Amino acid sequence: MKNMELIFVPAPATGHFVSAVEFSKRLIHRDDRIRITILHMKWFPNASVDAYIESLAASQPDGIQVIDLPQLDVPVDPTKSIESFFPAIVESYTPPVRDIISMKSSSDETRVAGLVLDFFCSSMIDIGTDFDLPSYIFFPSNASLLSLMLYIPDRHSLKSSEFETSDPDHLIPGFVNPVPTCVLPSPLFSTDGGYTAFLKAAERFKDAKGIIVNTFEPIEPYALNYLSNGHNPPVYPVGPVIDFNGLSYSNSDDKVMKWLDGQPQSSVVFLCFGSMGSFKAPQVKEIALALERRGFRFLWSLRVPPPHNDASEMLPEGFLQRVQGRGIICDWAPQLQVLAHKAIGGFISHCGWNSIIESLWFGVPIATWPMYAEQQLNAFMMAKEFGLAVEMRLDYKQDSDELVIADEIEKAVGKLMDGESEVRKKVKEMAETVRKCIMEGGSSFNSIGRLIQDMVGNS
């Protein structure tokens, strides 16, 4: 059989793009007949994606080609949510994507076996249909969020409007517990097009040949059982998909990693809130007060928002002197390297899905402090559905003026760093299970095998 080609169309966001590429590598590693083309939508300058693509080109992985699509000028209204722009972005990129697929489909070198579309690009299923190609949805988050996405069209058929903050808890198939309205993603309440974007994306899932999810059976058996009940396209749990290149050592990481090297095992609490996670000065002061009083060693990745120029402007006077030697503050930390370090004992996290699976991989327990996107739902799942996190906050929103006071942070840090806690024990057990999932014979390994067999049948 000749080589088969898959065309990936990830969303123009760092987490989505990196996950798609890392999953591509796993497919090629499993079957050397597979060739992959990744179409990069250059909607706006994204330094982290550009750097990642450069490192990918330098490593020259066999079988992966990245094609930069032309940079298009999609009008942006800064008063609207970023989710509301995605339909317009996808529509604008549909013609160049169609042109490339047309060219690839007419080639004699390989046979195009299908499209792998980010869930925000699900409208491009129509392109696949036009070329008689199956389309797969790549879902870089978890099965529980996928369950919510499938719930949205069902709810809309009964109540054709956005979610409201006054709604009662939702009985969503795929969740063990009723889901509080306050932990649902903010765009679902949006009248600016965010809700409509989620709805229209989810409505197309039923037209996909399959849905590939960055999760693993041991952590979400209930949701995956629901999703496999025959009413949806086949679901392939293939996670955890992690960019292990983040473990490579860089000279720029010297300060952080050398400091960690000098700390006792499991003694340091790591605070990191994602690439867009930042706090105003009053909240920074409450965190600093809690860390100073609680006494644990800490590594704090503190992003400084305008108008401040330096973290010291936001911290209590004299704080850095009083904690000298016991804690370190940096504007950026190599998260994967940090979580892998023996000195790390706990992680106060924004609960992005990539951060969650990285922490589980290394057996580091989390305290929940969600900020934006679907992070509130992830925090709810980790604390309430799975019992794998210390609950600090589940419904915190970055754009609110709510203040999490030092006493509350102190209490959560104490629970997080308790060496005998049930959460710590469960996370350590899950770490062993997670690693087995991607090994030969593991649940995700077998799921990828089924996916490849399905794709081979198309070619």
CATH code of 167's domain: 3.40.50.2000
Bridge partner list, 210:
136
DSSP per residue over 19-80, as a string?
HHHHHHHHHHHH-TTEEEEEEE--SS--HHHHHHHHHHHHH--TTEEEEEPPP------TTS
CB 238 within 8 A of CB 212: yes
CA–CA distance, 125 with 133 (Å, rounded to integer) = 9
CA–CA distance, 349 with 266 (Å, rounded to integer) = 17
Position 244 in a domain: no
Same domain, 303 and 406: yes
Per-residue pLDDT of the chain (459 residues), as tens digits, is 578 999 999 998 888 999 999 999 999 999 999 999 999 998 777 778 888 888 887 777 789 999 999 988 877 777 787 888 888 899 999 999 999 999 999 887 779 999 999 999 999 999 999 999 999 999 999 999 999 999 999 999 999 999 999 999 999 999 999 999 999 999 999 888 899 999 999 999 999 999 999 999 999 999 999 999 876 799 999 999 999 887 765 555 688 999 999 999 999 999 999 878 889 999 999 999 999 999 999 999 998 887 777 888 899 999 999 999 999 999 889 999 999 999 999 999 999 999 999 999 999 999 999 999 999 999 999 999 999 999 999 999 998 889 999 999 999 999 999 999 999 999 999 999 999 999 999 999 999 999 999 998 865
CA–CA distance, 150 with 203 (Å, rounded to integer) = 8
Same domain, 23 and 168: yes
Same domain, 159 and 61: yes
At what angle are helices 194-203 and 143-158 packed, to 10 degrees?
100
Q: Alpha helix (H) ranges present in 138-241?
A: 143-158, 194-203, 221-227
Helices (H) and strands (E) in the chain, counts: 16, 13
Q: Residue 384: which of 140, 144, 139 has the closest Cα?
A: 144
> What is the value of pTM for the model shown?
0.95
Position 88 in a domain: yes
Position 245 in a domain: no
Same domain, 397 and 256: yes
Same domain, 446 and 380: no
Same domain, 270 and 415: yes
Same domain, 67 and 136: yes
Same domain, 52 and 199: yes
Query: What is the span of the domain harbouring residue 152?
Result: 4-239+438-458
Q: Residue 414: which of 336, 339, 346, 351 has the closest Cα?
A: 346
Distance set, CA 302 to CA 28, 285, 344, 376, 412 (Å): 38, 12, 17, 20, 19
Same domain, 452 and 403: no
CA–CA distance, 119 with 435 (Å, rounded to integer) = 26
Same domain, 229 and 288: no
Same domain, 405 and 258: yes
CA–CA distance, 200 with 204 (Å, rounded to integer) = 7
CA–CA distance, 97 with 125 (Å, rounded to integer) = 12
Eight-state DSSP code of residue 381: I
CA–CA distance, 140 with 240 (Å, rounded to integer) = 10
Q: What are the tokens at 423?
A: 């959460």
